[in-house]
């Protein structure tokens, strides 16, 4: 379905849904990679709405990954998430809404809860920590490339710098994407998908890094509702979250500003895409249990 810059799908169980899950996907991937998880959710009586962020997946209208023909792309993606949330609440009045963001989607979700409401719980998968030196380097490179090559320039430099660094931590390197999962089939599926694992525009990378710094500012973190239910989930072997250290850093950021209903769970031996990891059904069950206990208060 399309609405303005939104391209989204919705999935419903046979019976009345317990709640609605809104999913925000990660960098250079798209909604198809969540279908297995979505099927599991609908079998457990949850409805799901998911969009391809503008410039990604089947919503790559300009044929330049991460391209947006105006400034402040990052905030526009957050605006799109709110547009989808309005649709969800209009079509499902009186239903609880849980926002699940993975990787880049977790960053967008963190910005979303600073700017908007409409969600009763938030799950952050594959989150990172506070921006530091690496992000400053990426910002300099993206600014240089945008200035000299234009906003639509696809940055292979930033692509290999980011993904290559993540992958360097693992010995079983047959592709550039072993850092994603220990499930070989899921890694190959990602590698062979034309919408995944490809460079994004320099401009998008610049806007993403700037957005990363913005959402990490303490004055913005303080804007999050203190009674919001928030869950961090991460693989202990995820380099994006600095093998747990960065995730814990972000967790403490919210805890220190007064969020009470906040929890964190690590999975030993799991990498970045925990929803596509070996033994993922256990993780799916943990997510459902958390929603039932904390958001729906059924347990």
Instruction: List, as one string, the DSSP characters of the chain.
Output: -EETTEEEEEE--SS--S-EEEEE--TT--GGGGHHHHHHHHHTT-EEEEEPPTTSGGG-TTSSTT--SSS-HHHHHHHHHHHHHHHHHHHSTT--EEEEEETHHHHHHHHHHHH----SEEEEES------HHHHHHHHHHHHHHHHH-TT-B-HHHHHHHHHHHHTT-S--SSS-TTS-S-HHHHHHHHH-TTSS---BHHHHHHHHHHHHHHHSHHHHTTS-TT-EEEEEEETT-TTTTTTHHHHHHHHHHHHTT--SEEEEEETT--S-GGGSTTHHHHHHHHHHHIIIIIS---
At 6 the pLDDT is 86
Nearest in space to 84 (alpha carbons), one of 103, 67, 101: 101
3-state secondary structure of 123: strand
Residue of 90, 54, 93, 92 whose CA lies nearest to 70: 54
Radius of gyration of the chain (CA): 18
Q: What is the pLDDT of residue 73?
A: 83
Percentage with pLDDT > 90 across the chain: 86
* Under-70 pLDDT residues of the chain: 3, 61-71
Closest CA to 8 of 55, 53, 70, 68: 53
The pLDDT value recorded for residue 287 is: 99
Q: Which two tokens stand for residue 158?
A: 């930033």
Alpha-carbon span 235 to 180, nearest angstrom: 10
What pLDDT, on a 0 to 100 scale, did the predictor assign at position 152? 84
pLDDT score for 61: 64
54 and 27 Cβ atoms separated by less than 8 Å: no
Query: Measured between alpha carbons, how far is 264 from 14 in angstroms, rounded to an integer?
Result: 32
- pLDDT attached to residue 47: 99
Mean pLDDT of the chain: 94
Supply the pLDDT for residue 92.
98
Superfamily of domain 2-130+218-295: Alpha/Beta hydrolase fold, catalytic domain (3.40.50.1820)
Sign of the torsion formed by the C-alpha atoms of 50, 53, 56 and 58: positive
- CA–CA distance, 41 with 12 (Å, rounded to integer): 9
DSSP state of 292: I
Q: Name beta bridge partners: 21.
A: 48, 98
Domain boundaries, the chain: 2-130+218-295
State residue 23's pLDDT score.
99
């Amino acid at each position: 379905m399309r609405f303005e810059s939104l391209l989204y799908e919705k999935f419903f169980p046979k019976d009345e849904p317990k709640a609605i899950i809104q999913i925000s996907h990660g960098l250079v991937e798209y909604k198809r990679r969540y279908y297995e998880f979505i099927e599991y959710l609908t079998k457990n009586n949850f409805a799901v709405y998911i969009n391809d962020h503008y410039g990604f997946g089947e919503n790559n209208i300009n044929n330049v990954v991460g391209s947006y023909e105006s400034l402040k792309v990052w905030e526009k993606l957050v605006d799109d998430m709110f547009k989808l949330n309005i649709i969800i609440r209009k079509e499902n009045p009186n239903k609880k809404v849980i926002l699940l963001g993975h990787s880049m989607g977790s960053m967008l979700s963190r910005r979303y809860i600073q700017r908007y409401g409409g969600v009763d719980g938030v799950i952050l998968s594959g989150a990172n920590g506070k921006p530091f030196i690496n992000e400053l380097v990426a910002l300099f490179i993206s600014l240089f490339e945008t200035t000299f090559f234009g906003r639509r320039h696809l940055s292979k430099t930033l692509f290999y710098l980011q993904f290559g660094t993540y992958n360097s931590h693992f010995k079983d390197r047959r592709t550039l994407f072993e850092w994603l999962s220990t499930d070989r089939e899921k890694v190959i599926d990602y590698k062979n998908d034309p919408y995944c694992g490809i460079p994004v525009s320099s401009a998008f990378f610049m806007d993403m890094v700037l957005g990363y710094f913005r959402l990490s500012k303490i004055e913005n973190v303080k804007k999050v509702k203190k009674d919001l239910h928030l869950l961090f989930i991460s693989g202990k072997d995820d380099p994006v979250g600095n093998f747990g250290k960065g995730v814990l850093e972000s967790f403490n950021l919210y805890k220190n500003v007064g969020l009470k209903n906040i929890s964190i769970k690590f999975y030993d031996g799991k990498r970045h895409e925990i929803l596509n990891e070996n033994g993922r059904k256990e993780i799916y069950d943990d997510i459902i249990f958390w929603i039932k206990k904390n958001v729906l208060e059924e347990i």
